[in-house]
A and B are shown apart, each in its own frame.
Chain A
């Protein structure tokens, strides 16, 4: 047969030709596009050009750059914490289960401030108040009332620190819940030295009162508020941005108690950094509801609350963020904990600030539920994974509608449908479970690192970063996911670094020290000069500028 016999074409050829062209176009154009260009993920932080012996270079966020100034406030003229509540913002939002407008909230805050000063005799800038409250609207009101009158507040990151703080830094007034009162009275009787005034929120046991009448004065919160709301409001000197708002006591990595002082400027800078965790296309707004697993008694938890208040968003916390109970700390199943944020009176959360335990429990139960649909799950998983390896993920795909949405709803209910971003902090995430978590959630996941001395995130990853790296179990950093570059107004460097490793081109490994507007100052400063604060945590810098931080318990 000749050549012309081999290349005979007929109608069938035309049809097949059309089909093959359309299949070719489908295959090449259907390729998912990365959400963030990979070239940006290769240079996440900007490193200094010089480094001192034994240290690494100074790293800053690539967006800020080495010569850029750190942003200190979320908007112009917002110098103090009271500026977070804008009086001209009219619509109500829900704080825990109370629906309240800014004007009503400011009214209550000034009433409580006046009442506290009148009934307890607090002196601005000299007295201290210890806040032993669980996360509730009373915490926010007391916090704002005290900062407006320049009275520093003390908070504890854990109830175990209470006895040591009462001895070393006795406060003038303690504000606490009725259920925690017996524990405090016990400690006060043991201390025997100081006269305390205790303001009690909620119900308190009446048979405790006669015993305590001699040394300790107990006042009820409702009395404070009603006393303050009648009559003239006390107005003191306006607070300035360098005034100390809060001293947060926490346990350092070596087990000692340390205190970090935060000024108004630290908190405004922290709110700026927290807002920057979300890209401008996906920014926080007053339509959001933020659910946080971090207690307001920690600096990061408080900054999340301030961010919500500033944006006019609703705010609620998870059940395990309540630190102060008579029986000790609450331990709940992670999924039950997440579901506790969406009660009937709060709107469904749209932004979740969770801890690694929550996120891992979520992803494993969602995937376990999704695997129940035998037919579609293998395809769904394969397609999602192919998308992630190209840098693309979405919640609106066919596979979400058939497989994953149902699984998510079964695990956390309505929260699954409204959540649009998840921010994780409080410990490292396992690298092996990072990609399954991203697929299970299919929303931007921001991996951050926080520290008790910093009001705001220390390190934060790109929200749309979907890179997948192999784990290396021989290296203690090899099993952890990176936490990204330093936050927009923090600069970080590593100390106690081995020079020969770094000169040979290896990754610097050392202790992280940080500096910047949101970093508070320790009460007992360590030797690091020039404003650097030692976090006590070991970290490593990767070649793309991202940091990996070891779990402090290791």
Chain B
């Protein structure tokens, strides 16, 4: 390639704006545009803060991570949370209410331990039984758990530790008329 042959026509083309060869012209325009973008980079900022990190370096997530409000439940207010209508599943052990929605396969309506959903499961956890006799009806006062042996109390405490690690503590259980 003879450079002399190409540079003078290049200059001539640039100076006279000769659109003789469209390919050359389009390439030249592309080069000028890219050089302009390198020498004068864009510094515009979007008007609203982007909510995705792919959109921009300076971004802010749309929402806070979800948090559950710690509430005080009574046996009556706890009972609806048994997952029957697809809502949250709560269960109480020793006055501590756990949100076991993530364990829906166990504590949901069709799960193995579905009896405990929305109820005080302390006696069942202590005696390692899922029978319905372990649950006290919602209208009656809370199970005092006075007749449990010490090893059953230990077992219940072990279950409380297991639940604290696996599920969220989201409330406490008090008597029906305490609220």
Residues of A within 8 A of B (CB): 6-17, 19-20, 23-24, 26-27, 30, 34, 37-39, 41-43, 47-53, 56-57, 379, 382-383, 385-386, 389-391, 466-470, 499, 502-503, 505, 507-508, 541-544
Contacts and interface: CB of A to CB of B under 8 A. Distances in A.
Contacts of B45: 389, 468, 470
Interface in B1-34: 1-2, 5-6, 9-10, 13, 21-24, 27-28, 30-31, 34
Nearest to A46: B65
A215 to B, nearest CB: 58
B162 interface: no
B38 A26 contact: yes
Contacts of A502: 67
A11 B35 CA distance: 22
Contacts of A469: 49, 58, 60
29 contacts: A7-B22, A8-B23, A9-B21, A12-B10, A13-B24, A14-B1, A15-B6, A20-B34, A23-B31, A38-B56, A38-B58, A42-B53, A42-B61, A47-B67, A49-B67, A49-B68, A50-B69, A51-B68, A53-B69, A379-B39, A382-B41, A389-B57, A389-B58, A391-B57, A502-B67, A505-B64, A543-B60, A543-B63, A544-B61
Nearest to A26: B38
A475 to B, nearest CB: 14
Contacts of B1: 11, 14-15
Contact of B27 (A16, A34, A57, A541): A16
Given A13-B23, A23-B35, A53-B69, A383 B10 contact: no
Closest 6 CB pairs of A and B: A386-B41, A16-B27, A467-B58, A391-B57, A38-B53, A23-B34
Contacts of A385: 43
Contacts of B35: 23
A50 B24 contact: no
A6 B58 CA distance: 46
A16 B67 contact: no
Given A7-B23, A12-B10, A15-B6, A507 B60 contact: no
A495 to B, nearest CB: 14
B173 interface: no
A260 B1 CA distance: 82
Nearest to A52: B70
In the complex, which of the residues A14, A389, A503 has the most CB atoms of chain B within 10 Å of its own CB atom? Answer: A389
B34 A24 contact: yes
Contacts of A389: 43, 45, 56-58
B144 interface: no
A119 B65 CA distance: 61
